[in-house]
């Protein structure tokens, strides 16, 4: 047993302070309000907690009435990953679209407007931006969430995003340290491994995080990935070498010199939960240098909070977690809460001129349009949109609509749409799937919408068969554009946000075709 410097009440309060849980419902449950009074200092919001901006504002006001420095966090990257607009699709293109434009001022303006909307709703911590360098085009979980595959580009846009977001009074949480881009496994499902050497990691993965620290990011989120060059045994979230060592170590000693809040990625993700369990994983994470434990995407109940609180308290009492390390972590959480209390909230939003059209303007600039011949005949009547749909990754979720069907139907009434997945290809065969599609489309022009066609052989085969039957088909790639352009017109949107679909639909019908960079 360990002799404690403080009483058990202080220890329990600190243990609650470092937790960042979620909950269900569009109002705060009684247990959340009660725990805020006992020391809980953060909550995480997800799509299930949000119905309208007005409702979200009332929810955050309810939380703030219990604790005026509470951190209200959200996973609002814009683009494919949106919680504010989970049921409609985002008004902002995601990182890959911004990287494709490569105008840091535009990125700063988009992040500022996104931050203004969050602050107006009372959200003061955003688990964004993703600073991952998407060096592996087969990455199943990052993809369009990255600004790109070149470290310098990712670094300058990461910095611009942080400056824009925090200029609106919302703390940025740069993720997923030390970099999730060179992975072929989704850490929601298993533990990814990056075997790159330390020199490669330093030049590639770490460049955007160095830029983020220099830009003043208030928080950094750790990744559940194994990098043997840093630590052969423990994933970064649990690794003292990665967190206390590399991220905290002074720049003069080869580290990044970060002194803000370190928060873990979701502890219920299988990369941690399967191998360590969330209780042991949380203790190891705090011991390694993390300051806040994110949990609540899948486990959103009071029992989880109490289990983690008690696990941290017990670890201190048994000597497996230093009391001063837990106290230091809690202090960093409270310090960030104090910064948001002074800098954030609706009053911060009121001082910023709204820029309602910046997201659509960015999506239009991000389009890369490739005609197959010297001319393109715009769609003048009803079309048929065939969306080749892969399984959504957990970070994006299945609730958020994507594609061009709704936007094209608005411009060309009578347009129909259907989705086709791998199961359809397996059941019907590629030829049967295309025959079904052609029968349904009739004489309407087909618009084929794909997402990362280079990663899905069934999708590539189906698209080839469709183009052989209907060469006049328009192809819209809404993922990472790795496959060669195909179709009578090929539009790469660099993301699947609602505004990306609208921008593509405008080109399909002839409004603005040829006006975009990369034509």
pLDDT at residue number 512: 61
* 122 contacts 61 by C-beta, under 8 angstroms: yes
pLDDT at residue number 395: 62
Helix 8-17 × helix 30-38 angle, to 10°: 130
Pick from 197-201, 353-357, 407-411: least confident = 353-357
Is 265 a known active-site residue?
yes
Report the sign of the C-alpha dihedral through residues 144, 150, 155, 161, in that order: negative
pLDDT at residue number 352: 83
Q: Which residues contact 238 (CB under 8 A, 6 or more apart)?
A: 272, 276, 281, 284, 285, 288
Maximum distance among all alpha carbons in the chain?
Answer: 80
In this predicted model, what pLDDT tens digit does every residue of 366-410 receive, in sequence order? 999 998 655 788 999 999 999 998 876 556 667 788 899 999 999
Element (H, E) at 217: none
Residue 202: DSSP 8-state = I
* 390 contacts 422 by C-beta, under 8 angstroms: yes
Average pLDDT over residues 341-359: 80
| pTM > 0.85: yes or no | yes
pLDDT-derived band at 17, boundaries 50, 70, 90? very high
Report the sign of the C-alpha dihedral through residues 301, 303, 305, 311, in that order: negative
Nearest to 144 by CA among 447, 462, 500: 500
Q: Is the pLDDT of residue 504 over 90?
A: yes
Helix 358-366 × helix 104-120 angle, to 10°: 140
- The fraction of the chain above a pLDDT of 70, given in percent, is 93
Pairing status of strand 489-492 against strand 71-74: unpaired
Average pLDDT over residues 136-155: 91
Distance CA 89, CA 319 (A): 48
CB atoms within 10 A of CB 29: 14
Nearest to 82 by CA among 501, 401, 396: 396
pLDDT at residue number 518: 34
* 110 contacts 81 by C-beta, under 8 angstroms: no
Distance CA 419, CA 440 (A): 12
User: Higher pLDDT residue, 517 or 510?
Assistant: 510
Catalytic residue among 157, 176, 180, 188: 188
Q: Is the pLDDT of residue 145 over 90?
A: yes
Q: Which residues contact 351 (CB under 8 A, 6 or more apart)?
A: none
Task: Retrieve residue 362's tokens.
Answer: 């960015």
Q: Is the pLDDT of residue 233 over 60?
A: yes
Is 30 a known active-site residue?
no
Residue 509, Cα to own-chain centre: how many angstroms? Answer: 31
In this predicted model, what pLDDT tens digit does every residue of 110-131 receive, in sequence order? 999 999 999 999 999 999 999 9
Nearest to 481 by CA among 99, 107, 154, 205: 99
Catalytic residue among 69, 182, 186, 265: 265
In this predicted model, what pLDDT tens digit does every residue of 424-434 receive, in sequence order? 889 999 999 99
- Which own/partner pairs from 98-102 qualify as long-range (CB within 8 Å, at least 24 positions apart)? 98/147, 98/157, 98/161, 98/362, 98/366, 99/146, 99/147, 99/148, 99/153, 99/154, 99/157, 99/494, 100/148, 100/366, 100/368, 100/494, 100/518, 101/362, 101/365, 101/366, 101/517, 102/153, 102/157
Task: Retrieve residue 10's tokens.
Answer: 């202080």
Q: Is the pLDDT of residue 180 over 80?
A: yes
In this predicted model, what pLDDT tens digit does every residue of 438-461 receive, in sequence order? 999 999 999 999 999 999 999 999
Rounded to 5 degrees, what are φ and ψ at 398? Answer: -100, -10
pLDDT-derived band at 175, boundaries 50, 70, 90? very high
Q: Is the pLDDT of residue 216 over 70?
A: yes
pLDDT at residue number 234: 95
* 98 contacts 158 by C-beta, under 8 angstroms: no
- The fraction of the chain above a pLDDT of 90, given in percent, is 81
Q: Is the pLDDT of residue 505 over 70?
A: yes
Average pLDDT over residues 465-489: 95
CB atoms within 10 A of CB 33: 16
pLDDT at residue number 73: 97
Q: Is the pLDDT of residue 353 over 80?
A: yes
* 166 contacts 115 by C-beta, under 8 angstroms: yes
Q: Is the pLDDT of residue 15 over 80?
A: yes
Pairing status of strand 416-420 against strand 383-388: parallel
Q: Residue by residue, what is the 3-state secondary structure of 258-301?
A: CCCEEECCCCCCHHHHHHHCHHHHHHHHHHHCCCEEEECCCCCC
Distance CA 491, CA 504 (A): 7
Reading across the β-sheet that carries 171-177, which strands appear in turn? Answer: 42-45, 71-74, 125-126, 171-177, 219-222, 261-263
Mean pLDDT over each residue of the chain, to the nearest integer: 92
Average pLDDT over residues 171-199: 84
């Amino acid at each position: 047993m360990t002799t404690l410097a403080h009483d058990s009440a202080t220890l329990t309060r600190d243990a609650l302070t470092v937790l960042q849980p979620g909950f269900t419902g569009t109002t705060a449950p009684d247990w959340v309000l009660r725990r805020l009074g006992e020391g809980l200092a953060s909550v995480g919001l997800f799509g299930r907690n949000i119905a309208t901006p007005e409702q979200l504002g009332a929810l955050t006001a309810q939380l703030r009435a219990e604790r005026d420095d509470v951190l209200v966090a959200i996973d609002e990257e814009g683009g494919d990953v949106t919680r504010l607009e989970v049921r409609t699709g985002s008004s902002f293109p995601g990182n890959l679209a911004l990287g494709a434009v490569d105008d840091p001022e535009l990125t700063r303006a988009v992040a500022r407007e996104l931050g203004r909307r969050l602050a107006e709703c009372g959200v003061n911590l955003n688990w964004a931006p993703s600073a991952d360098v998407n060096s592996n085009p087969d990455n199943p979980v990052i993809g369009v969430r990255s600004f790109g595959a070149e470290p310098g580009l990712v670094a300058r846009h990461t910095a611009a995003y942080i400056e824009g977001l925090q200029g609106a009074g919302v703390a940025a949480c740069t993720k997923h340290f030390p970099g999730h881009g060179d992975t072929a496994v989704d850490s929601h499902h298993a533990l990814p491994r990056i075997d790159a050497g330390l020199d490669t990691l330093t030049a590639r993965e770490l460049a955007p995080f160095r830029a983020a620290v220099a830009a003043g990011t208030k928080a950094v989120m750790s990744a559940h990935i194994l990098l043997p060059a840093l630590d052969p045994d423990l994933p970064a979230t649990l690794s003292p070498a990665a967190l206390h060592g590399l991220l905290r170590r002074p720049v003069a000693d080869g580290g990044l010199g970060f002194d803000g809040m370190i928060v873990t990625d979701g502890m219920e993700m299988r990369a941690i939960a399967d191998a360590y369990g969330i209780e042991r994983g949380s203790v190891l994470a705090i011991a390694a240098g993390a300051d806040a434990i994110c949990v609540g995407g899948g486990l959103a109940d009071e029992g989880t909070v109490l289990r983690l609180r008690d696990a941290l308290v017990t670890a201190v009492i048994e000597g497996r977690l230093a009391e001063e390390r837990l106290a230091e972590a809690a202090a960093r959480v409270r310090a960030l809460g104090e910064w948001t209390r002074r800098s954030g909230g609706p009053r911060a939003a009121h001082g910023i001129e709204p820029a309602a059209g910046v997201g659509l303007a960015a999506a239009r600039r991000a389009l890369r349009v490739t005609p197959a011949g010297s001319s393109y005949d715009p769609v003048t009547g009803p079309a048929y949109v065939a969306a080749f749909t892969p399984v959504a990754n957990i970070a994006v979720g299945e609730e958020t609509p994507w594609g061009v069907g709704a936007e094209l139907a608005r411009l060309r009434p009578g347009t129909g749409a259907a989705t086709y997945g791998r199961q359809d290809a397996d059941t019907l065969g590629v030829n049967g799937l295309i025959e079904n599609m052609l029968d349904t489309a009739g004489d309407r022009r087909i618009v084929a919408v794909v997402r990362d066609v280079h990663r899905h052989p069934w999708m590539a085969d189906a698209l080839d068969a469709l183009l052989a039957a209907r060469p006049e088909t328009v192809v819209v790639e809404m993922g990472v554009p790795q496959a060669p352009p195909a179709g009578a017109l090929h539009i790469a949107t660099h993301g699947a946000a609602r505004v990306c679909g609208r921008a593509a639909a405008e080109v399909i019908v002839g409004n603005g075709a040829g006006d975009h960079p990369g034509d």
